[in-house]
């Protein structure tokens, strides 16, 4: 990897430090105390090493002032106040440019494999909600298999996820991606956008597409008694079943697929429909819960069989444990009050970056373990940013 030097700091071309340098400074040159790249490096290293709030980040950096002065070739003896970090997030930093940098850095020159799952899901940053419950709503495209957020966009409230999905997907290379989202994303226009962009889709049909759901459900219902002298059309059903045990529960998942409704349903690029049944038994009480959903996909049987389709749908829920849980619980995203400007979205973007670096690129299984290791060896955190 080629290395270059700017203001005495040696870093690799293509490193996070190099990307940060492309962000435009909106400070007035007069009275400038810290470069934007230096502030971002401080924030990300402190985040990697276990700090989440602006005040915690400021204190952590202050106590390691000599290290940061050496790493970044700083002239000032003092480190930034916590209000500086807040101001950078609220008014100085262009969050859209930062999102593009994070997406490019985490996906550049990487081949993720064929038919890699891309999960779409929205969430509200609870720490941004004001007294009128207005806050920052984000829609993310997350790859559960590698723990990377490819892109995240702000949307104007929960009801705007449909146009938000089109905006999100337009900024992603969809080739070799299989997109899956909430039932609200089951839309014809989005399906066309995905397939014509080189990807595939898997959708659940619920109340937002009631006729589609009803038609698929009727197809999988047992055939009524045939009228004498007539014959029922033989159906091409294929099946797969998986059983898993954990957390005091036994879960049985069964999927049934068919490709005989493709022309009848008239959905763009439709290749298969499916019925997914879940039977969950609480081992301690013996209580049984049953759930059934219906869906469809642009992937043909030659491209994905029922067993792989069952596993792919199960992986979709990885966005809850792999992304939302880590951001909300480990990185304390929902507890931190960042209500001004786009501060909440900036911090969410930095959280995605930290997850991508530690889980996606460094391959740590548990985020807390990774943060404790880097807290003990902060030089490694700086290398992760400057030598990536």
63 occurs within a structural domain: yes
pLDDT in tens, 169-192: 999 999 999 999 988 899 999 999
Residues of the chain with pLDDT under 50: 29-31, 230
- Retrieve residue 225's tokens: 């008694």
Q: Tokens 């404790």 label which residue?
A: 372
Query: Given this model, what pLDDT does residue 26 score?
Result: 59
41 occurs within a structural domain: yes
290 occurs within a structural domain: no
Range of the domain at 28: 3-106+339-386
Query: Given this model, what pLDDT does residue 98 score?
Result: 93
377 occurs within a structural domain: yes
314 occurs within a structural domain: no
Q: Tokens 């995240």 label which residue?
A: 152
Question: Distance between CA 8 and CA 85 in Å, rounded?
Answer: 24
Give the pTM: 0.83
74 occurs within a structural domain: yes
Of 72, 215, 281, 366, nearest in space to 374 by CA: 366
Question: Distance between CA 273 and CA 261 in Å, rounded?
Answer: 7
Query: Given this model, what pLDDT does residue 228 score?
Result: 55
- Contacts of residue 289, defined as CB under 8 A and 6 or more positions apart, other chains included, come to 278, 279, 280
The total of structural domains in the chain comes to 1
Question: Distance between CA 162 and CA 155 in Å, rounded?
Answer: 10
91 occurs within a structural domain: yes
Q: What is the 3-state secondary structure (H, E, C) of the chain?
A: CCEEEECCEEEECCCHHHHHCCCCCCCCCCCCCCCHHHHHHHHHHHHHCCCCCHHHHHHHHHHCHHHHHHHHCCCCCCCCCHHHHHHHHHHHCCHHHHHHHHHHHHHCCCCCCCCEEEEEEEEEEHHHCCCCCCCEEEEEEEECCCCEEEEEEEECCHHHHHHHHHHHHHCCCCCCEEEECCHHHCCHHHHHHHHHCCCEEEEEECCCCHHHHHHHHHHHCCCCCCCCCCCCCCCCCEEEEEEEEECCEEEEEEEEEECCCHHHHCCCCCCEEEEEEEEEEECCCCCEEEEEEEEEECCCCCCCCHHHHHHHHHHHCHHHHHHHHHHHHHCCCCCCCCCCCCHHHHHHHHHHHHHHHHHHHCCCCCHHHHHHHHHHCHHHHHHHHHCC
185 occurs within a structural domain: no
Q: Please work out, in degrees rounded to the nearest 5, the angle formed at the alpha carbon of residue 143 by the alpha carbons of 89 and 139.
A: 45
């Amino acid at each position: 990897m080629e290395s270059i030097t700017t203001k005495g700091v040696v870093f690799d071309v293509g490193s996070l430090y190099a990307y940060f340098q492309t962000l435009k400074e909106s400070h007035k040159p007069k009275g400038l105390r810290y470069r934007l790249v230096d502030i971002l490096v401080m924030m990300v290293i402190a985040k990697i090493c276990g700090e989440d709030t602006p005040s915690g980040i400021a204190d952590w950096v202050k106590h390691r002032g000599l290290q940061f002065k050496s790493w970044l070739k700083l002239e000032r003896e003092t480190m930034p106040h916590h209000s500086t970090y807040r101001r950078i997030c609220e008014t100085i930093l262009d969050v859209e440019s930062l999102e593009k940098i994070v997406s490019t850095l985490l996906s550049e020159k990487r081949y993720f494999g064929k038919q890699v799952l891309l999960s779409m899901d929205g969430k509200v940053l609870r720490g941004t909600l004001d007294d009128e419950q207005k806050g920052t709503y984000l829609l993310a495209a997350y790859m559960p298999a590698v723990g990377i957020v490819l892109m995240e966009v702000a949307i104007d409230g929960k009801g705007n996820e449909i146009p938000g999905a089109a905006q999100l997907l337009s900024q992603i290379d969809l080739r070799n991606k299989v997109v899956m989202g909430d039932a609200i994303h089951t839309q014809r226009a989005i399906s066309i956008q995905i397939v014509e962009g080189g990807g595939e889709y898997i959708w659940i049909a619920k109340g937002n597409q009631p006729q589609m759901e009803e038609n698929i459900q009727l197809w999988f219902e047992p055939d009524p008694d045939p009228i004498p002298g007539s014959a029922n059309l033989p159906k091409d059903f294929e099946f797969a079943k998986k059983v898993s045990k954990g957390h005091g529960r036994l879960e049985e998942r069964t999927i049934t697929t068919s490709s005989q409704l493709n022309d009848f349903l008239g959905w763009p690029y439709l290749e298969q429909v499916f019925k997914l049944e879940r039977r969950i038994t609480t081992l301690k009480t013996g209580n049984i819960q049953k759930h059934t959903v219906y869906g469809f996909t642009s992937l043909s049987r030659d491209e994905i069989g029922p067993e792989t389709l069952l596993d792919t749908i199960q992986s979709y829920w990885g966005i809850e444990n792999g992304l939302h849980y880590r951001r909300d619980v480990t990185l304390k995203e929902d507890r931190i009050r960042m209500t001004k400007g786009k501060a909440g979205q900036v911090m969410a973007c930095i959280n995605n970056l930290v997850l991508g670096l530690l889980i996606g690129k460094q391959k740590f299984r548990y985020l807390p373990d990774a943060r404790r290791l880097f807290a003990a060896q902060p030089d490694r955190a700086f290398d992760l940013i400057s030598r990536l």
